[in-house]
Structure 1
Amino acid sequence: MKKSIILIFILVSGVIFGKTNMSAENQSKKMETASFGAGCFWCVEAIFQELKGVKKVESGYMGGETKNPTYKEVCTGETGHAEICQITYDANMISFEELLEVFWQTHNPTTLNRQGADVGTQYRSAIFYHSEEQKELAEKYKRKLNESGAWDDPIVTEISPSSKFYIAENYHQDYFKNNSNQPYCNFVIKPKMEKFKKVFKSKLR
């Protein structure tokens, strides 16, 4: 990832989304849903739970063929499912565009089926859109980022229609909050959270 990544994101966000002030049209919106996969869902959940306007974040599985998958099954990489977080947010407080900005800045979308030491199709970078508007915004943002040279390698983020969401086992929910001293949390999630909070300070609760 290039050193100028934050500046590039600011420029790209401005080109695609313009000002972030809510328009009269957006003021009429209420609760909406976004579904993102960006590696281990423990990391994704911890990040999006900190944003103003996000009302609920649930960890689970999407994108595969296996019905009612278990974590053990998904970890084999044979179910086709990705670990994702389904995010319920108040569009009067935070827009899908702003969620996309956080999504792309908090993981590496150029590594196919991998985030750091987590390897497998279940860890793929993915946006499962819930409307044509979400699809268009995601595709436009992805294209602009590729054109900007934000990364040395092309973005491989999957952009697909949302499908059946299978919520993960209870112990996966609020994982970072409940297991902050666990080794994975200490060595992987905490450093990522520190960087995230510095960049998105104005958007935190």
Structure 2
Amino acid sequence: MESLAKIALGGGCYWCTEAIFLSLRGVRNVDQGFVSSVGEQSDWSEAVVIRYHPGEISLKDLIEVHLHTHKSTAAHRMRNKYRSAVYTIDAGDDEKVRLVLKELQDGFSEKLITEILPFVDFKPSEERYWNYYYSQPEKPFCETYIAPKLRLLLNRFSNLVDPKMVQASL
């Protein structure tokens, strides 16, 4: 049995974020919904919880994909609900994430605003929204917002993508 690691990421709408990470090799499961962090239990943010195999995809790769597939350098007008964040779950991940963000900052012309927050709780979204993009890619939201992110993913991170997932849907 493979040992899976877990991380939670917030980067705008969870429909978009879910589609991105379902498309990557090494990712075994993506749950979309709402995450709370220490001090913000009443302030839930859209996010995904990702279970992945570290032997197939690294934490750094996941974070790099995350930073490039949402507005990680610009605040959203609904900042708390759609915050750019890495929610750390496993002990020791805070420092790993901090180092990764510092290293990846050089790839951006503006300062990253992505927060590192401790994961406290998760509420899944309604089941009808699960696998939103891959179950209905013809929807206007999917064509307008998600498909361009998947094209970017395929062009920039083709070595990490499961081509069966992305190419079949674009």
Question: Counterpart of 1:93?
Answer: 56
Question: Counterpart of 1:169?
Answer: 126
8 A Cα contact 2:32 2:130, kept in partner? yes
Larger Rg: 1
Question: Counterpart of 1:144?
Answer: 103
How many residues end up aligned between the 2 structures?
A: 159
Match of 1:111 among 60, 67, 74: 74
Q: TM-score, normalised by structure 2?
A: 0.86
In the alignment, is residue 65 of structure 1 matched against residue 28 of structure 2?
no
1:123-142 alignment to 2 at 5 Å?
123-142=82-101
**Partner deviation per Cα, 1:142-190 (whole Å, 9 max, x = no partner):** 22344x27223x2211111111111111012100011211111111111
Runs (4+) of structure 1 exceeding 6 A deviation are: none
Q: Which runs of 5+ in 2 are unaligned?
A: 163-170
Q: Which runs of 5+ in 1 are unaligned?
A: 1-28, 67-79
**Partner deviation per Cα, 1:51-106 (whole Å, 9 max, x = no partner):** 1111110101012424xxxxxxxxxxxxx111000011112211212111111121
Question: Counterpart of 1:34?
Answer: 7
The one-letter amino acid of 1:187's match is T
Question: Counterpart of 2:147?
Answer: 190
Give the fraction of aligned pairs with identical amino acids, expressed as a percent.
28
Match of 1:55 among 20, 28, 34: 28
8 A Cα contact 1:30 1:92, kept in partner? no
Distance in 1 (alpha carbons) for counterparts of 2:147 and 2:3: 32
**Structure 1 or 2: more strand by fraction:** 2
Aligned-residue CA RMSD (Å): 1.9
